[in-house]
């Protein structure tokens, strides 16, 4: 059962159905990301059996953590990433990731990242200058909102990481 996003972004989660392996235009698909700070990273997405998907990135964070924002951006088809790719690759990528559980987790993670960023902005914008007794309630409210957003983001990261690694635990899927 696919989980719908609690923040109402579920319309994306339900988008598209899984395309049969034999009908894929590219498998694996390789996406090169030119970093603003310079340098290029390469995200590789391979569909294995069923909906199992192996994703890797050439960056250092991926090597250390087993996931990175590049993977999240590519899997969630971030407009910024898509705008830099040729039309054929965009079509192949959309088809490759359509309906995958990993993509649903990636989109939920993006939604939680946005919610956290908004919560942090709100905290900065609305926090009182002083801590006069009457203003403490405002702090309490802002901090608890931020704590909820932070904890939900942490959960979303955990679910995404577990889903990134899911293919490893299925025998016979590991590429040679
Ligand atoms: Zn990366």
Residue 16 or residue 13, greater confidence: 16
Distance 135 CA to ligand 1 centre (A): 42
Give per-residue pLDDT as tens, 115-153: 999 999 999 999 888 777 778 889 899 999 999 999 999
- Of the candidates 41, 33, 53, 42, which has an alpha carbon nearest to the alpha carbon of residue 96? 53
Decide the pairing of beta strands 40-47 and 53-57: antiparallel
Cβ neighbors of 9 (< 8 A, separation 6 or more) are 107, 108, 111
Domain ranges of the chain: 10-169
pLDDT at residue 176 greater than cutoff 60: no
Q: How far is the CA of 23 from the centre of ligand 1 (A)?
A: 27
Give the helix/strand (H/E) hosting 56: strand 53-57
Indicate if the pLDDT at residue 51 is higher than 90: no
Q: Tens of pLDDT along 64-90?
A: 999 999 999 999 999 999 998 999 999
pTM of model > 0.75 = yes
**What mean pLDDT is reported for the chain?**
88
Beta bridge partners of 56: 44
Question: What mean pLDDT do residues 12-31 have?
Answer: 84
Instruction: Give distance in angstroms: CA of 43 to centre of ligand 1.
Output: 7
What is the pLDDT, as a whole number, of residue 175? 52
Question: Which residue carries 């995200």 as its tokens?
Answer: 43
Query: Residue 122, exposed/middle/buried by CB under 10 A (0-12, 13-18, 19+)?
Result: middle
Query: Residue 72 Cα, ligand 1 centroid: separation in angstroms?
Result: 9
Higher pLDDT, 141 or 14: 141
């Amino acid at each position: 059962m696919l989980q719908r996003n609690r923040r109402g972004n579920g319309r994306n989660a339900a988008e598209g159905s899984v395309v049969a392996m034999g009908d894929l235009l590219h498998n694996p698909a390789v996406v090169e990301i030119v970093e603003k700070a310079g340098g290029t990273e390469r995200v590789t997405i391979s569909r294995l059996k069923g909906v199992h998907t192996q994703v890797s990135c050439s960056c250092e964070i991926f090597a250390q953590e087993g996931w990175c924002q590049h993977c999240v951006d590519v899997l969630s088809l971030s407009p910024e990433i898509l705008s830099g790719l040729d039309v054929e690759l965009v079509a192949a990528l959309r088809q490759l990731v359509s309906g995958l559980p990993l993509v649903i987790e990636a989109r939920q993670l993006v939604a939680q990242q946005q919610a956290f960023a908004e919560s942090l902005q709100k905290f900065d914008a609305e926090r009182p200058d002083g801590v006069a007794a009457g203003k403490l309630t405002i702090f309490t409210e802002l901090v608890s909102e931020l704590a909820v957003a932070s904890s939900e983001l942490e959960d979303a990261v955990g679910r995404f990481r577990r889903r990134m690694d899911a293919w490893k635990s299925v025998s016979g899927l590991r590429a040679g």
